[in-house]
Amino acid sequence: MSRPITTTRAEPGELLAWYDRHHRVLPWRIGPSDHAAGVRPDPYRIWLSEIMLQQTTVAAVRDYFLKFTTFWPDVHALAAAADEDVMAAWAGLGYYARARNLLKCARTVSRDLGGVFPETEEGLQALPGIGPYTAAAIASIAFNRHAVVMDGNVERVMARMFAETDALPGIKPVLKNHAAALTPSDRSGDYAQAVMDLGATVCTPRSPACGVCPWMDPCRGRAAGIAADLPAKAPKAAKPVRRGVAWAVLDGAGRVMCVRRPDKGLLGGMLALPASEFAEAPAEVPPIAADWRTIGEVRHVFTHFQLKLEVRAAQSAPEGDFRAIPEAAEAMPTVFAKACRLLKGVEI
CA dihedral 17, 60, 137, 304 (to 10 degrees): -130
CB 163, CB 221: distance < 8 Å: yes
Looking at residue 226, its amino acid is: I
DSSP 86-97: HHHHHTTS--TH
Pairwise CA distance, residues 60 & 182, whole Å:
30
Using DSSP's 3-state secondary structure scheme, residue 244 falls into strand
**Torsion angle (degrees, nearest 10) of CA 100, 112, 67, 268:** 10
Residue 333's closest CA among 239, 251, 261, 240?
261
Clarify whether 121 is annotated catalytic.
no
Q: Which of 14, 50, 280, 297 is catalytic?
A: 50
3-state DSSP of 322-340: CEEECCHHHHCCHHHHHHH
Report how far apart the first and last C-alpha atoms of the chain are (Å, whole number). 62
Q: Are 139 and 147 in contact (CB under 8 A)?
A: yes
Q: Which residues are catalytic?
A: 50
